[in-house]
Amino acid sequence: MKNVTVTMSEALLQRARVAAARDGKSLSKFVAEAVEQRVGRPMTQREALDIFLAGPPLHVLDENGKTPTTAQLYDDE
C-alpha cells in the first residue's frame, strides 16, 4: 500500500469523515473505495472470460455444425 496526500476543503473533509463514520470505515478506506468505484479495479482472467462468454454469440458454424475452412474464410468471392 502507498500513502497519498489529498487536498480538499474543510467542509468536504468534514462531510467525508461523517460519511466514513456512518459506513463504519476509516477515512482512508472510504476514500480508497470511492476512488476504486470511479476508476474501477483490474479484472481477473476469470472475470474477463465470463464477460466475453456472456457476450453475443459468434456465428461461425455452418448449417452442418462445422467451422469454415481457411479457404472459405479468406475467399474474396
Q: What span, in angstroms and rounded, lies between the C-alpha atoms of 51 and 55?
A: 6
Residue type, 53: L
Total-model pTM: 0.55
Structure-block grid coordinates of residue 45:
482472467
Give pLDDT tens digits along the chain (77 positions).
899 999 999 999 999 999 999 999 999 999 999 999 999 888 899 999 999 999 888 788 888 888 888 888 887 66
For CA atoms 41, 50, 53, 49, the dihedral sign is: positive
Hey, how many other C-beta atoms are within 10 angstroms of the C-beta on 26? 12
The whole-number pLDDT of residue 77 equals 62
- Summarize the chain as % helix, strand, coil (round to 5): 50, 0, 50
